[in-house]
Amino acid sequence: MPEVRGPPPAKRFRAGPGVPGNRGAMLPGGRRPLLGAEALERQRRSLPIFAARGPLLARLRSAECAILIGETGSGKTTQIPQYLYEAGLGRQGAIAVTQPRRVAAISLAARVSDEKRTELGKLVGYTVRFDDVTSEDTRIKFLTDGMLLREAISDALLRKYSFVILDEAHERTVHTDVLLGVVKAAQRRRKELGKPVLRVLVMSATMDVDLFSRYFDGAPVLYVEGRQHPIQVYYTKQPQSDYLHAALVSIFQIHQEAPPSQDILAFLTGQEEIEALCKACRDIARHLPDGCPPLLVLPLYASLPASQQLRVFQGAPKGSRKIVVSTNIAETSITIAGIKHVIDTGMVKAKKYNPESGLEVLAVQRVSKTQAWQRTGRAGREESGACYRLYTEDEFEQFDKMTVPEIQRCNLAGVLLQLLALRVPDVLGFDFVSKPSADRLQAAVEQLELLGALQRKKDEPPALTPTGRKMAAFPLEPKFAKTILLSPRFHCTEEILTIVSLLSVDSVLHNPPSRRDEVQAVRKKFVSSEGDHLTLLNVYRAFRNVGGSKEWCKENFVNSKNMLLAAEVRAQLRDICVKMSMPIESSRADTGNVRRCLAHGLFMNTAELQPDGTYVTVDTRQPVAIHPSSVLFHCKPACVAYNELLSTNKCYMRDLCVVDEDWLYDAAPDYFRRKMRAAPS
């Protein structure tokens, strides 16, 4: 039982067991001032992992694959690559260290190159999308897992590397999951070909060790302790029917009882809820009794403009308390220093797959135990802390042990296309750590077949077509890659590149619910009656015309960070087109051609207006509605193409384009003949 410091437990909570070890992500940690060589060495030696250095190296030398369980603060991610290098293990080929997130890859590389006293990009470097800071000399290379996967497309044996470290494997991102299979296959294939062995180290927090070990034929599991401060965990005595209300009450209980220097982090599920709770907090804070310190209330979620996100890192003015109300972005991606109290509603908004309807549903649901512990760990980063769980201990025991791996919840078309591009002999038989259901694999194969990316012959595994190979060159969802490939036929590649780029980053349109009227008024000038795609195109053109002015973005509720990212994506996609010798033309004022092209690329995602004013999809006759964020929300076009279906309260189509039914027949005659015959009309 960890010791209890900090404020006394709130009355409505009951103390439960403390944190059993920790399941944290190793966090990037900012750049710190350079220490003297001796001090630096002392610091490195003081890390928990240092004591394990010798035995660890001995095990890693004898095993081709090992699993390492390292708790937060063990120093595993920064130290192990250096140990391996110092022991001469990274001489024949470089050491790759993968991360699920860009910022982590970048800051870890910076940190390790500091420790090695070398310039970033020499001995130690990193590769992430849009940014490659490596050279011939780079022996320790941090990269995103998605980036290593891209590299594998041109070199499935990962010849550059002698060692691959897959970090944060417990997060089970799609990329990590696929990479596990790719690395395993490369390891075996290299052995068959008599090439130098590829060593693999899977690093994870505790929960899924057995799974990884079994997957790698009983690979040895090594443990390293962490350095985490004690956190007292409290549960509610009674189940809470209204977690928002419970969160509000808890916030003010802590606020009235704990010293104001102690900051609070509360986990909620989404933007609207967070903004509402923030407003409630500010309202209540204005009417608190005398002597109660002021409260600085800050929302945090991914679509929040960067300038507002950065505010969570600043300390509250002396004498007042900071409370950050966040989505699960603060679970792993953003680390806030100085958090003493965590409030966990136990809820998260996440995609899940509904096998009955075959639809992906974005729903508020219970977190897993792993996730709850991850949230708890956010309270003990610098010193001891407390976590208030707004559910009972019995309820907690009912939570799923682990979050369902993403690969079992997402559309697999992109994954399969990538596997095919990797020349995996039989994609349906691919050795996944957690195999997705056969139904979903089959659905992905059919989707790719309709897009012309693969061919199925009797008794043979599906094979990539030349179109499919081209599609795989684009870092995009298959349907968008196909749309780009189709665009020369409609002389609108310039426009399609812009639209696809805008759609492949987080929304460039910022919609603060509190300022809805303002947003609508200012956005009017961009709105196209032809739909959201062309509206986005107008926004981008306006943005370019003002030279990407930040001021303009602010005035127009445009997220400048995402806009600049979209511009980078566009440049990358354009490069790929140029390399393929695609003609890049503009359709100029002819928006009809742009819509024709979209109709050809998105023909699987179309819906028709019914006599009663509702819509049904052409594909499965599923009733759908136009999402309120669409510029077509108040319109009733006869036929639309959409980017995606999102099932929340209703099944909504997001990002719509008005299309002509005839174009769809042109795009996929067989498909529509089949669909229309099935439909009563």
Partner DNA sequence: ACGTAAAAA
The nearer residue to DNA, 46 or 629, going by C-beta atoms, is 629
CB 413 within 8 A of CB 447: yes
CA-CA distances (angstroms) from residue 33 to 187, 588, 648?
A: 39, 52, 47
- Give 147-198 as a 3 state SS string: HHHHHHHHCCCCCCEEEEEECCHHHCCHHHHHHHHHHHHHHHHHHHCCCCCC
Residues 541-570 that bind DNA (CB under 7 A): none
Report 391-410 residues binding DNA (CB under 7 A): 406, 409-410
CB of 403 to DNA, least distance (A): 9
Rounded distance between C-alpha atoms, residue 62 and residue 60, angstroms: 6
CB closer to DNA, 187 vs 408: 408
- Told to check if 128 binds DNA by CB under 7 A, we report yes
Q: How far apart are CA 197 and CA 190, in angstroms?
A: 6
Of positions 15, 40, 87, 103, contacts DNA by CB under 7 A: 103
Q: Which of 329/522 has CB closer to DNA?
A: 329
Task: Please tell me whether residue 574 binds DNA under the rule CB under 7 A.
Answer: no
CA distance 80 to 398: 36
What pairs with residue 647 in β-bridges? 361, 651
Least distance in angstroms from the C-beta of 450 to DNA:
19
- Asked if 102 interacts with DNA (CB under 7 A), we say yes
Task: Confirm or reject binding of residue 628 to DNA (CB under 7 A).
Answer: yes
Cα(250)–Cα(387) distance, rounded to whole angstroms? Answer: 11
Q: Which is nearer to DNA, 238 or 437 (CB)?
A: 437
Asked if 627 is part of the footprint of DNA (rule: CB under 7 A), the reply reads yes
Binding test (CB under 7 A) with DNA, winner from 28, 100, 226, 462: 100
Of 32-40, 394-402, 603-611, 625-633: span binding DNA (CB under 7 A): 625-633
DSSP 409: T
What's the CA gap between 570 and 558, in Å, rounded? Answer: 17
Cα–Cα distance, 137 to 118 (Å, whole number): 11
Mark 645-656 as b/e (b = at least 16 C-beta within 10 Å). bbbeeebbbbbb
Count CB atoms within 10 A of the CB of residue 271.
18
H/E stretch holding 96 reads strand 94-99
Is 48:224 a contact under the CB 8 Å cutoff?
yes
With CA atoms as reference, report the closest residue to 146 among 188, 189, 96, 187.
96
Q: Which is nearer to DNA, 636 or 673 (CB)?
A: 636
As a whole number of angstroms, the distance between CA 510 and CA 301 comes to 12
* Cβ distance to DNA smaller for residue 15 or 473: 473
Question: Rounded distance, CA 557 to CA 221, Å?
Answer: 50
Looking at 12, 14, 44, 129, which residue binds DNA (CB under 7 A)? Answer: 129
Nearer Cβ to DNA (571/678) = 571
Among 477, 495, 530, 532, binds DNA (CB under 7 A): 477
Choice between 28 and 293, CB closer to DNA: 28
Interaction between residue 41 and DNA (CB under 7 A):
no
Contact 31, 107 (CB under 8 A): yes
- Closer CB to DNA, 311 or 349, in the complex: 349
> Which structure tokens are listed for 448?
């790719």
List 23, 53, 101, 470, residue binding DNA (CB under 7 A): 101
Pick from 634, 670, 677, 681 the residue near DNA by CB under 7 A: 634
CB of 303 to DNA, least distance (A): 5
In the bound complex, what is the minimum distance in angstroms from residue 479's beta carbon to DNA?
11
> Which one of the spans 35-43, 70-78, 143-151, 488-496 is the region binding DNA (CB under 7 A)?
143-151
CB of 630 to DNA, least distance (A): 9
Question: Binding segment for DNA among 1-9, 379-387, 645-653, 663-671 (CB under 7 A)?
Answer: 645-653
Q: Site size for DNA, by CB under 7 A?
A: 52
Give the other-Cβ count within 10 Å of 311's Cβ.
Answer: 14
Stretch that binds DNA, among 6-14, 18-26, 139-147, 430-438 (CB under 7 A): 139-147
What residue type is 87 in one-letter code? A
**Burial bucket for residue 110 (CB in 10 Å: 0-12, 13-18, 19+):** buried
Contact pattern from residue 150 through residue 179 relative to DNA, giving x for each residue in contact according to CB under 7 A and a dash for the rest: x----------------------xxx----
Alpha-carbon distance 73 to 321, whole Å? 26
**From candidates 654, 661, 665, 672, binder to DNA by CB under 7 A:** 654
Cα distances from 564 to residues 146, 287, 471, 571, in angstroms, run 21, 42, 24, 11
Work out how close the CB of 459 gets to DNA at its nearest, in angstroms, rounded to a whole number.
31
Structure tokens at 20: 């059993």
CA distance 648 to 339: 32
Q: Give the pair of three-digit tokens for residue 638.
A: 């006869």
**How many Å apart are CA 203 and CA 74, to the nearest integer?**
12
Q: Please, which residue, 150 or 574, has the CB nearer to DNA?
A: 150
**CB closer to DNA, 321 vs 627:** 627
Among 62, 581, 649, 681, binds DNA (CB under 7 A): 649
Which residue, 493, 477, 474, is CA-closest to 594?
493
Binding mask 250-269 for DNA (x = CB under 7 A): -------------------x
Is residue 652 within the footprint of DNA (CB under 7 A)? yes
Instruction: Give the nearer residue to DNA in terms of CB position, either 72 or 303.
Output: 303
Q: How far is the CB of 647 from DNA (least distance, A)?
A: 8
Closest CA to 519 of 561, 566, 556: 556
Residues 296-355 interacting with DNA (rule: CB under 7 A) = 301-303, 327-329, 333-334, 349-351
The reply on whether position 516 binds DNA by CB under 7 A is: yes
Q: Which is nearer to DNA, 440 or 627 (by Cβ)?
A: 627
Which residues touch 242 (CB under 8 Å, ≥6 apart)?
none
Q: Which residues of the shown chain bind DNA in the complex (CB under 7 A)?
A: 100-103, 128-129, 144, 146-147, 149-150, 173-175, 269-272, 301-303, 327-329, 333-334, 349-351, 362, 406, 409-410, 414, 475-477, 504, 506-507, 511, 516, 627-629, 634, 646, 648-650, 652, 654
